[in-house]
Structures are given as structure tokens and as C-alpha cells.
Chains A and B, each alone.
Chain A
Amino acid sequence: MIIALVGNQNSGKTTLFNQLTGSNQHVGNFPGVTVEHKEGLLRSGKDIKVVDLPGIYSLAPYSSEEIVARDFIIKNKPDGIINIVDAGNIERNLYLSMQLIELNVPIVIALNMMDEVRSSGGTIKIDELQSKLGVPVVPISASKNEGVDELIDVAIRTIRGNKRPQLTDYCSGGVHRTVHSIAFMIEDHAERVGVPAKFLATRIVEGDIPIKESLGLNENELDMIEHAVREMEEELGTDRKAAVADMRYTYIEKVVLAAVIKPDVDIHRQKSQRIDRLLTDKYLAIPVFLAIMGLIFWLSFGVIGNRISDWLGGGIDFIGSKVESFLQSLMVNHAVISLIVDGAFAGIGSVMTFLPTILILFFFLAILEDSGYMARVAFVMDKLLRKIGLSGRSFVPMLIGFGCSVPAIMATRTLSSERDRKMTIFLIPFMSCTAKMPIYGIFSMAFFPHHAALVMISLYVLGMVLAVLSGLLMKSTLFRGKPVPFVMELPNYRFPSLKSVGILLWSKAKDFIVRAFTIIFVASLVIWFLQHFDITLNWVSSDAESMLADLGRVLAPVFAPIGFGNWQAVTALLTGFMAKEAVVSTFAVLTKASTADLPTALQTFFTPVSAYAFLVFTLLYTPCIAAVAAIRRELGSRLLAIASVVYQTGFAWVVAFIVFSIGTAVFN
């Protein structure tokens, strides 16, 4: 048995899903499209699968997520629907419920956040609501796990008993007549596709073209339908879409009037407005936002994250050295030891040390998201992002990009438009991630000891400026399509559910570890192999004879015009593809210099001008393999991932060339 969990965004759907399934959940793809959804087994019934659909406001298709949700409901025909409704925002939430009821499948309404309504002094007459809507209604509080057992009981009974909604007719006036006459007309077609004729008729009246086409109506029928709808429009003096929306809301108002006793003052809403007086204040919004983000980054990358990462790195190094001495004591071939220690351990280790930082960053971001603050950030920043053809919603992922591109790319899932999502993902690599910090640090020490801060800031700013330019370029070329209008709910602030945050962190950690042991593992072994063998597959005594060096030499001429045509620099850039901090470690290995001597050793490869060009290049060139893998996964396209690599690298070369040319002209 399959139950679809359907509801508005911010209605507590994910929290309820977590309560319904516990940890019995996994992420899957919808058949045919690579839009992820979560599904899980009901905690009290092994054979019942719950599918968590994207949050939607209506069954009319706008964003790709909504099309997916609608298609799942209509085409995959779940056995029943649990429709989660925010009791505090019941009018708008019931709009989707009305559409779901029209589908005529077993449905139960989970009236969420009843605790909030009660604590404000309001109440909802459940019996009245049930009889007016013709479906079972169960009051719950998903965050407190109240009423969830009863909801499961009622849902199973309703669906097993195949109880359809009792509400047969709620439409009124001109729309009513038109819906009925069209339903009569398309009855045969509806029976063939197995969808209630009245639902289809309502959607056709509304102007849902894909539905109309899927029925395979003949010309004559289409004409008659169009005629009927035109007549209705004339009679009502409004158009079809507005007429149907108005009809639904008119009925909802009647239901709400009868069943809902609203509190004098909704204290939760009022509290939100108070908080917003500070957080979206005309003058304070930006400073407060900067302070919050600063604190989060400081905690994630500085205080907590760094420390745990250091411990983890130390631990991995320690295990690595133990393994090394153990293998040496067994007299294992030195090539095998090198493979395990320098290849596998070093490679996976360098990436795994980022896990704590990423999880801590995600923890804070999940809290910001669940509390409702992200919606405010989008509200505040929309005007700025519009200039490059995006909307306020893209701001948050880009911000995360300063930490690490991988979680940033994953965070674009919240964007409703595919176009915005692609463009945002393409722009994220311009935000200088923390893995590049060691490179900037070492090079500043070597070449610009007195202007280190200036060099760093200039690189961050350069990245942002180029992101804006790149955005403008993309807006007028690749992504010329219409930006999605920015219409977004500003939900009440809520205390985030720790259980939901916990489950999210666990799935992120799992994701990351799996990736480290698959992609990163293989990549590490490849680099190790290239670094230790020559073209005839003989073990090399020095790296200079290795395939990696050969490869570096082949590619070196490409980099000569931008100031660093030596194979060591090229090799460092190549390994930097694995992880950006590997650029520094590669230089360390190739120069055989200790950490303290590295800056001096670097001076043999670069002049200050070419060093800066090198920094600009590392700032901009291809995202690391983990980020590229994330791009591939999120966009579901290998081609776009490759496009991102090529675009970034090409862009980096051009900018580094300009910097090097100007620098040479000025300083030489």
C-alpha cells in the first residue's frame, strides 16, 4: 500500500514524515525524472509505504517540483493521501485540500499545529470540518508527536476501506454548470484514464492544457469545451482560472466560518511579526544578517569545525602511520604500502577531515531554514539578485558556497525553478571556498608577506565581482529564459525540530562518507598511480620522471602565457582538482620542503606577478571533484557537470591571463 504525503510548504510535512516513518526512510528518484523524493515504511505497518512529495500549494503545475508531485498523485495513483494542513493557516492550506478531494481517492486530513492554535485561544470544530469537507480530519501536532498514532489508524482504515470523500458537490453558480456539462462530455475519456470526470472537468475549466491534451479529445469535443468555458467566462465577467479559484475559496470561507473559531490575537503570528521588526528592518536587516552569517562561519570553520577536523585529521594520520608500520613489519612490498598510505589514506583522509565542518555548517543552516529565517533572507536580498537575473531564493546557496561548494550545490534543491537552480549552481564555484584558504595563506607568506590580508580580500572580492559578471553574461545568453516570479510565503518563525535536523544531518553524513569511499577513493588511487609510475609502468625513484610529471609537462605550455609554465605548478593544479588544499600538499611533496620552508621553496617557481596570477587561477578554475560530482548529481546531467568544469577553467585562464599581462606590464 502506498500513501502519498501531500501538503503546502511550511506545513510541517517533513516533520510529520519523520514521525510517521522514524528512520525507516531513504531518498529515491521519481520514475523517469531525476527529482528526488523521500519514501519510508510506516513505523507501525511494514507493508505501508509513505512517499513524501515536494511541498505544493496547488495541483496546477508551475515548478518542476510541483509537476512531479502532481504527476505522482495523478499518474502513479497512490492508494491514499494524507493531506497535511497547517491549522494556523487553514484557509490557504485547504485550497490544495479541495483539489485533492476532487481527485476522489481515499484521503485523510492531518490538521497540524493544533497545539499552536489552541495556545493562541482559538479552536477548530473537527466534526464540523469533517462533515463540510466529507473526509476524516485528525488533529495532530507533528513536532510534539501528538495524534500521529491516531492519524495512522484513521489513514489505514480509510484507505483499506477505500472510503472516498463524501463531498460531491461544492461548486456553485456558472462554474458548477460548466464543470458538470464538461464532465458529462468527457466521461468516456475519464474512465479510460481512470481519473474522476469531475476532477478532469474542473481542471479543464481552469485551463490546464497538459491534462486536456492527455485525454486525446477530438476536435469537436475540444470546440464544445472551449465554447462552454467561453460562455461561462462571459456570464461571470471573469476568466476561467480566476472563476475556479474564486469558487474554491468561496467554499473554503464557508467551511472556515462554520468550523474555525479564530483567536482574538494569533500570538504565534504576532511573535513572528515582532521578530521581523528586527530581522527585516529597513536599516538593521543587513547588519543582523551579516552578524548571523559571520557567527555561523566562525563557529563552523573556526572554533568548532576546525578543532574537530584537526582531531579527525590527526586520528586518520595516526591510523595511517600505524597501518604503515604494521605493514612494514610484515615486510609488505613498499609499493603496496605506498598505495595504501599515500594513496588511499592520504586521499580519503584529506576529504574526510571536512566532514565535521560540513555537518556543523549544515546544522546551522538547517536551523536557519526550519526556523523560517531563510525566507526572510530571500525577501531582503531579492532586489540585489534580481539584477543578475536570479531571485532572492538563490542567495542562500551562494552564501554557503563560501564554506564549501558541495553543501551549497545541494542547497539549491530549495529553488523552485530549474533555470534558477542551474544558474545558481554555475555561479556557486565563484564563491571562494575554505579549501582554498591554505593556498592563499602559503602564497601570501611567500610573495606578499606585508600585504597578506589585502591579497586574500582581493581574491574574495574578485570572485564575487566575477560571479556578478558571469551572472549577467549567463542571463543574456545561456539562461535567457524568464526568471520565475518571486512569490513566496513568509511563514511564522518556529522552533526547529531537533529530530528533523538530526535525521537531515545523518543523511548528509551518510552521503558524504559514501562519496569519500567511492569517487574520492578511486581518484586518490589514480593520482597515486600517476605520481609513482612512469609511462612504461616502472616504479619511479623521483616524481619528476612520473606520468604525472609527464602530463604536467604536456600541459605546461598551456599555462606559460599566464606565468607558470612549469610542470610542478601544473601538477599541483591537477591534484587540486581532487581537493583544493591538495595544491599546497603537492607543492610540499614535489619540493620535499617542510611546512616552514615551503614559502621559500615556492619562490623558485613563481615571481610575485605569476604567483598572483596562479592564485587567481586557483580561485576560479574547475570545482574540485566532490563539487563536480555534486553538480552531476543535482543536475542529473554529466554534460552540465563537464560544462561547469570547462566554463570555470576557461574563465580562470582568461582572467589569470589578463591579470598576468597587466601585472607584467606594470611591474616589469
Chain B
Amino acid sequence: MTLEELEVGGSGRIVAVHGQGALRDRLLDMGLTPRTKVMIRKTAPFGDPIEISLRCYELTLRKEDAAKIEITRDEIVPLSCGDCRKCMKKQKRFGRRDRDRE
């Protein structure tokens, strides 16, 4: 599946960044390399672009570009959003250190 198809709150790992040219280079430079964990944080008010989390930071990109990023969805419990009380408790309980990468 592609990053575009992932729902808000869902996470996955990058398999490959398709396409070519400047955009692809940029995405790779920004850290969207294979095996990197990404999570969809939100969609902009008008439905596009999207905000994603990876490597401990937030990035925005358009859906048409996200469609070129192939991922595998994480089947385990979705990553904590990190900002609601419930998730923080869960993090403490399981001693999870890093939300983005394992």
C-alpha cells in the first residue's frame, strides 16, 4: 500500500520511494528511506496536504506525492499519538522510549 492510503493515526514502514527527480531526492534527504517508520498525524483542513511524523519530527507533503511512497502497514497496536493522557500512561506502563522508531 502507499502512504496516501494510510488513515490518520495509522503508521507503517517505508518500503520504497517511487517517482523520480527533485521531489524524490528531497524525500530521501528528509529521511524517508526504506525501513523508516512513519505515522500520519493529520490532514490539512481542505483535505490536502497531510502531516506525517518520522524520525522525531513533523513533515508535510501532498497526497499525490504520498501516493508515490510505498509502505507496509504496522499491524501491531497503532503508535501512540503521544499527546493524549491515555497514550502517555500507556507509554509509562510499557516503558516505551521512542514513539517513532523501535
Contacts and interface: CB of A to CB of B under 8 A. Distances in A.
A associates with B: yes
B51 A490 contact: yes
B71 interface: no
B16 interface: yes
A488 B60 contact: yes
Contacts of A487: 23, 26-27, 30, 59-61, 65
A431 B98 CA distance: 47
A277 B81 CA distance: 12
B86 interface: no
Contacts of A72: none
B15 to A, nearest CB: 10
A629 B65 CA distance: 38
Interface string A30-58: 00000000000000000000000000011
A558 interface: no
B57 A489 contact: yes
A235 to B, nearest CB: 15
A241 B26 CA distance: 10
A58 to B, nearest CB: 4
B76 interface: no
Contacts of A57: 26, 29-30
A164 interface: no
Contacts of A265: 82, 88, 91
A489 B58 contact: yes
B58 A242 contact: no
B77 interface: no
Interface string A89-126: 11110010000000000000000000000000000000
Contacts of B44: 280, 285, 379-380, 382-383
A176 interface: no
Contacts of A241: 24-25, 28
Interface residues of A, number: 50
Contacts of A276: 42
Interface residues of B, number: 45
A92 B62 contact: no
A245 interface: yes
Contact of B47 (A272, A274, A383): A383
A486 B64 CA distance: 10
Nearest to A488: B60
Nearest to B95: A264
Contacts of A89: 55-57
B39 to A, nearest CB: 12
Contacts, number: 137
Nearest to B98: A262
Contacts of B65: 485-487
A445 to B, nearest CB: 40
B72 to A, nearest CB: 16
A273 interface: yes
Nearest to A486: B62
B9 to A, nearest CB: 13
A262 B96 CA distance: 11
B47 to A, nearest CB: 7
A382 B33 contact: no
A633 to B, nearest CB: 27
A242 B34 contact: yes
Given A88-B56, A262-B98, A382 B62 contact: yes
Given A245-B28, A245-B29, A379 B49 contact: yes
B61 A281 contact: no
Contacts of B60: 375, 379, 382, 486-490
Contacts of A245: 28-29, 33
B17 interface: yes
A248 to B, nearest CB: 9
B6 to A, nearest CB: 17
Interface string A364-380: 00000000000100011
Given A92-B55, A282-B45, A379-B51, A273 B82 contact: yes
Contacts of A490: 51, 58-60
A242 B36 CA distance: 13
Contact of A249 (B24, B36, B49): B36
B57 A238 contact: no
A270 interface: yes
A560 interface: no
Interface in A356-403: 375, 379-380, 382-384, 386, 392
A266 interface: yes
Interface string A73-98: 00000000000000011111001000
A468 interface: no
Contact of B83 (A95, A238, A242, A270): A270
Contact of B82 (A270, A281, A283): A270
Contact of B56 (A266, A392, A485): A266
Given A58-B25, A262-B97, 8 more contacts: A62-B22, A91-B31, A92-B31, A276-B42, A383-B44, A485-B22, A486-B61, A488-B61
16 contacts: A60-B25, A89-B55, A91-B55, A92-B30, A238-B34, A242-B33, A242-B34, A246-B34, A265-B82, A270-B82, A273-B82, A280-B51, A282-B43, A285-B44, A382-B44, A485-B62
Interface of B: 16-17, 22-31, 33-34, 36, 41-49, 51, 55-62, 65, 81-83, 88, 91-92, 95-98, 101
The 3 closest A-B CB pairs, nearest first, are: A383-B46, A58-B29, A245-B28
Interface of A: 57-58, 60, 62, 88-92, 95, 238, 241-242, 245-246, 249, 253, 262, 264-266, 269-270, 272-274, 276-277, 280-283, 285-286, 375, 379-380, 382-384, 386, 392, 484-491
